[in-house]
Amino acid sequence: MSESKLRIESEPDLSQHYRGLEKMYLAGPIDQFYQSKISISEGYSEIEIDVKKEFFHGAGAVHGSVYFKLLDDAAFFASNSLEKDVFVLTTSFTTYITRPISSGKMKAIGKVVNKNRTQFIAESVVYDSDGREIGRGNGIFVRSKVKLSDIDGFNS
């Protein structure tokens, strides 16, 4: 058997891990409100929501907390995609809002940019329906002691 074939056969199928994370996300009570769509792969995630008036501040555009949620969640799930056993925690997250939005969709893409023994560093960017950047963020995530298998939704 060739070395490359042996390597492919010995690599674990992580799709079950990614689908478990997606189910866990969608099972969260707050995500019932946002009605998000999520897709996770190795070191990467995409989250999309439809803009609703319920997300607006008094001046008629999406509140910064919605930007933060999408950006943090995208970076978080990109990080947790690389951790198979436990839930990761956000220890810090910086958000930059670069453009207001009041209609269409918001799509956040998160990517892990550095990983070491104790933490993950991930970046995320949120785009509008026309593909324009409307915000960005970066954060540090660490492993918790909470087993993923103990979290509601992960195994359902």
For 85-123, write each residue's pLDDT tens digit: 999 999 999 999 999 999 999 999 999 999 999 999 999
HSE of 101 in the Cβ direction (CA atoms, 13 Å)? Answer: 26
For 15-35, write each residue's pLDDT tens digit: 999 999 999 999 999 999 999
pTM of the predicted model as reported, rounded to 2 decimal places? 0.89
In angstroms, what is the C-alpha Rg of the chain?
Answer: 17
In the chain, the domains with their CATH numbers are 3-150 (3.10.129.10)
Residue 116 three-state SS: coil
